Structure 1
């Protein structure tokens, strides 16, 4: 025998477990907010733009081939700027309390499409320190690249600056809480249907008819303690109501 579930059954289940679903969602949002605001450490970002271009004195007329070469060189420069050759000097210069490997993990290099510019981004828990590190890496790179590549085509286009009210890039409490709300609702709905599936108790006359495929012959009303203490007339009335539900 195949069991089917209708939209009405789904709505009844959700309505019956609505308080459970709401409770799980509220708990998920609260936990996410507490972790985002009070436990996770804010991380700030600072970026500097670096231009790859030959000096105008060497090439007075813009050469498309030279531009294409500079763009292709950005991939090589992206690797060099994160290499120990550059970062070791930055760690020593700023007396950073981190290794070169740890500093590398905080650096991101992105190149602009078909442009002779790439962005160097540094993340740090201190916004002022992030700016200082980004500018130090850019300056060290521009100073060292002529010796490393035997070219002089790198210039700091836009150094990193410290804003008045820097905003952390991570964590994002509102986004985290929104995600927690969705996950909490999904978990609550899944739990509601799981509890409904595991609940094999018989509660209504419809359950008897659906499970046993037998007609209901009668129903015995529930008599409370107050009904027992009530006058005999109320007891007789209750008995009459019970007998009236008998079906042949």
Structure 2
């Protein structure tokens, strides 16, 4: 026959191992805080945007086909921006200590669907250097794209700026601590049920019936030394009235 566990039994197991569960939660939160604040290196990001457009016609109208062509060119631009042809010049201009391939991992190029605006985002432990990388990459791309594709339709929309108090993008200490608390609670509850499952000692009358399959005929209670001394010093009158503990006892 399959064994079932009730909600009351689940609550009892959690209450029984509550100290263990709380300890794991607090420990996980402390470790996450230490790692986030003191071990992981904070990183910052900065973005520069440019727009891909065409020259206005004499009639004052924009050619729809040229707009569509510019949108399709953006996918090509996204690849060119992260290519060594652009990034090697950025490395030399900023005198960076890493290669163009390593710089490529620090740059992300994105654009909304059917949008002519492209965003170049640079990430670095130095907030000022992140802004310089983003701006230099866009400027270098704007200067070299006419020679690479024989087009001149890139215009800088906004430059990356260094704020007074830049906000780090990673790590996120509060988020890491929250995740650690959830994981600590899950691990703690899991260990609590595992310990309860592995505990095969008999503690109650129900355990005897469930595990041994025999009925309980009687229970031998534990009598402490204090109970024995208390019974010894009771007067006959108090014994007849049930003793100091108020229980009814029969004299023999």
One fold, TM greater than 0.5?
yes
1:1-40 map, 5 Å: 1-40=1-40
* 2:53 paired residue number: 53
SS in 2 for 1:5: coil
Which deviates more, 208-217 or 129-138? 208-217
Q: Aligned partners of 2:147 and 2:90: how far apart in 1?
A: 17
Q: Could you tell me how far 1:56 is from its partner in structure 2? A: 3.3
Q: Hey, what's the Cα distance between the residues in 2 that align with 1:215 and 1:59? A: 101
Q: Structure 1 CA distance, aligned partners of 2:12 and 2:155?
A: 67
Distance in 1, matches of 2:231 and 2:61, equals: 112
Q: Provide structure 1 residue ranges, at least 5 long, that are not aligned to the other structure.
A: none
Which residue does 1:90 correspond to in 2?
A: 90
Evaluate the alpha carbon distance shift between residue 181 and residue 58 of structure 1 in structure 2; reply closer, same or farther with a 3 A threshold.
farther
After superposition, the Cα gap between the structure-2 partners of 1:29 and 1:10, relative to the gap in structure 1 and judged at 3 Å, is same
CA distance 1:126–1:59, shift in 2 (3 Å): farther
Superposed CA RMSD in Å reads 2.2
Q: Confirm or deny: 8 A CA contact 1:55 1:152 kept in the other structure.
A: no
Answer yes or no: is the 8 Å Cα contact 1:53–1:154 preserved in 2: yes
Structure 2-normalised TM-score?
0.88
1:170 and 1:71 map into 2 onto residues whose CA distance is: 32
Secondary structure of the 2:174 match is helix
Change (3 A) 1:99 1:226: farther
**Cα offset, 1:230, TM superposition:** 5.3
User: Number of residues paired by the alignment?
Assistant: 240
Q: 1:59 to 1:142 in 2, by over 3 A?
A: farther
The gaps in structure 2 that reach 5 residues or longer are none
Aligned-partner Cα distance in 2 for 1:219–1:102: 75
Secondary structure of 1:96's counterpart equals coil
